[in-house]
């Protein structure tokens, strides 16, 4: 059920507590109707579609934010310029997610397609850029480009209502997720810093309970701290030279939830890879043959 959070602005909680394969949605009930991230609750989204939705805004290309997009066949799709190619084309999406590991991912392509009901390839009508203002009747919002999770991930700032839609900068205890080839640890940290410029009355996150009231700074601190703690654990392991694969099996990201036999293996694999790239770039680690070792 939708919940009013400001004038003409509604929060739609995602099923399964807003967890994958769902997310929380926002509905702007003005200017022809706009839905942000249509993957919360198909029944409620269907009701909205019947009432009229002219625009669908996608915060990024992940299936758990796109899942029920097909309920809005007549709506114009808005997405950030950097994620639009992955939304338009399945092969491009797979390149962004898996890069050169696509062959090792088993039937991942089929699984991703099933998550969105067998369809992919969305005609993005408008490519958004950082700072752009969108207006739907009396509701204004600003695009805040926050790359790192995906290259084109963005949040929305509603200045009149003082509401931030933070999408997958979800401020969860798990911490930021950067498990795609096209993700980036460094951009993730920069995006967390960028969000500090806002003083929201209320923040809507893409996952979990979805509503955070008041000051965000402590939550942003904690979210960034997780990244630094992951890096510290990786550096601790690299007191002895290790290959990427050996490091993955230490489970520095997923901890007790890591297993070489489930999908967390591949997310652990890619997130560790992102940390190794970041550490190499900063000259903290080096590589000899296939082993990584500390330089400082």
- Residue 83 sits in the site that holds Zn ion (CB under 5 A): no
- Residue 62 sits in the site that holds Zn ion (CB under 5 A): yes
- Answer positive or negative: Cα dihedral of 228, 61, 48, 198: positive
- Residue 270 sits in the site that holds Zn ion (CB under 5 A): no
Binding mask 131-160 for Zn ion (x = CB under 5 A): ------------------------------
Shortest distance (Å) from residue 89 CB to Zn ion: 18
How many of the chain's residues bind Zn ion (CB under 5 A)? 2
Shortest distance (Å) from residue 267 CB to Zn ion: 12
Q: Which is nearer to Zn ion, 176 or 200 (CB)?
A: 176
Shortest distance (Å) from residue 135 CB to Zn ion: 26
Residue nearest to Zn ion (CB): 62
Shortest distance (Å) from residue 246 CB to Zn ion: 28
Shortest distance (Å) from residue 173 CB to Zn ion: 17
Q: Which is nearer to Zn ion, 114 or 293 (CB)?
A: 114
Shortest distance (Å) from residue 189 CB to Zn ion: 17
- Residue 37 sits in the site that holds Zn ion (CB under 5 A): no
Query: Which residues within the stretch 163-182 sit at the binding site for Zn ion (CB under 5 A)?
Result: 168
Q: Which is nearer to Zn ion, 23 or 279 (CB)?
A: 23
Give the residues lining the site for Zn ion (CB under 5 A).
62, 168
């Amino acid at each position: 059920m939708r919940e009013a959070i400001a004038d003409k602005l509604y929060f739609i909680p995602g099923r399964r507590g807003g967890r994958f394969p769902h997310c929380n949605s926002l509905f702007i009930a003005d200017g022809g109707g706009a839905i942000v991230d249509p993957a919360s609750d198909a029944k409620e989204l269907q009701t909205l579609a019947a009432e009229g939705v002219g625009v669908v805004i996608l915060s990024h290309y992940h299936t758990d934010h796109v899942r029920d997009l097909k309920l809005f066949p007549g709506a114009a799709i808005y997405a950030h310029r950097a994620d639009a190619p992955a939304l338009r084309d399945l092969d491009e999406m797979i390149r962004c997610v898996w890069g050169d590991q696509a062959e090792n991912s088993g039937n991942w392509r089929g699984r991703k397609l099933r998550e969105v009901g067998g369809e992919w390839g969305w005609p993005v009508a408008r490519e958004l850029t950082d700072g752009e203002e969108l207006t739907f009747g009396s509701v204004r919002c600003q695009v805040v480009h926050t790359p790192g999770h995906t290259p084109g991930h963005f949040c929305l700032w509603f200045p009149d209502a003082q509401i931030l839609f933070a999408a997958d900068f979800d401020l969860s205890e798990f911490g930021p997720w950067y498990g795609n080839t096209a993700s980036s640890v460094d951009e993730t940290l920069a995006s967390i810093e960028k969000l500090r410029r806002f003083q929201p009355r209320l923040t809507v996150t893409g996952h979990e309970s979805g509503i955070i009231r008041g000051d965000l700074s402590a939550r942003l601190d904690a979210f960034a701290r997780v990244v630094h703690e992951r890096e510290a654990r990786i550096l601790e392991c690299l007191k002895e030279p290790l290959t990427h694969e050996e490091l993955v099996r230490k489970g520095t990201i997923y901890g007790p939830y890591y297993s070489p036999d489930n999908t967390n293996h591949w997310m652990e694999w890619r997130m560790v890879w992102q940390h190794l790239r970041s550490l190499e770039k900063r000259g903290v680690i080096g590589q000899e043959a296939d082993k990584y070792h500390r330089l400082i």
